[in-house]
Amino acid sequence: MQKLVVGGTGIVGGYIVEHLVRAGERPVVLSRAAHRNPTVDWVQGDLTAAAALDLPPIETLFCTAEIGLLADALPAIHQPTLRRVVAFTSTSIVTKLQSEIPEERALLQRLADGEQRLIDACEQRGIGWTILRPTIIYAEGRDGNVTRLARLIQRYGVLPLVGKAAGLRQPVHAEDLAVGAIQAAASATAVNKIYPLPGGETISYREMVERIFDSLGRPRRILSMPPLLWRAAFLLAKPLLPNANVAMGLRMAKDMVFDPTPARQDFGWNPRKFNPRFR
């Protein structure tokens, strides 16, 4: 029996596939577009049309796609051989559910609802589940968090922050998340639990940005702005900042910190410290 990776072309899913192949396995990867890879079995399809999927016998399912899609699809793709599901959401469910941005609130409520629906679907079928909630995910050159900041630094040479930007963060590398997911799937202790997955150290938002400057070989040039000025300036700069919102800056003073101890104890969670490499 094989392992299925849903979202295997994404940054975390891609690392899951890579590590399974390194371990001598031949995973099944579900993607909307057709791909060719001699080391994996690609299945072209979509969770929204799960009844049409033709999957081989699967023992473990990893999902980095939106969790609600998997919850809806599980009745159609369930097999008697399927014993474990490991799915990703986000610690933002905890830190940003009361965001002032309506679109953010709606997305995070959808994720929270999706978590519960997946739990219900798994427990109805006797499938062990584990939900992993990462903090800020990065993978140099590929993510929408750290890499986006790096591109702004490369373009402008300076980065505005709100106040001291002293709020604490725990950025986590996508490859560490992949390793953690595989370890969680193999751990009987991790069955039917939700885990936050923070990175290997806790630093201020400002320090996180300063290390991005360092990784680019650029001098640390930061412009500190009061919140009111940030709001006004953001309205003018928004066309230059796709997928950003004003609340991102206002949260720079807020701690977003999670305890890695449960994941460390249950499946050996051991992520790297934050030292991105863009050169």
The predicted pLDDT at position 244 comes to 63
pTM (two decimals):
0.93
The SS3 call for residue 131 is strand
Q: What is the mean pLDDT of residues 31-35?
A: 84
Residues 6+ apart with CB under 8 A from 216: 150, 153, 154, 278, 279
Q: Which residue has the tokens 């371990």?
A: 23
User: pLDDT-based confidence at 262, cuts 50/70/90?
Assistant: very high
State yes or no: pLDDT of 258 exceeds 90: yes
In this predicted model, what pLDDT tens digit does every residue of 196-245 receive, in sequence order?
A: 999 999 999 999 999 999 999 999 999 988 877 777 766 656 665 566 66
Under DSSP, the state recorded for 253 is: G
Under DSSP, the state recorded for 254 is: S
CATH number of 1-134: 3.40.50.720
State yes or no: pLDDT of 97 exceeds 60: yes
For the chain, give every domain's residue range.
1-134
The predicted pLDDT at position 202 comes to 98
Q: How many other CB atoms sit within 10 Å of the CB of residue 206?
A: 20
In this predicted model, what pLDDT tens digit does every residue of 231-247 receive, in sequence order?
A: 776 665 666 556 666 66
Percent of the chain with pLDDT over 70: 94
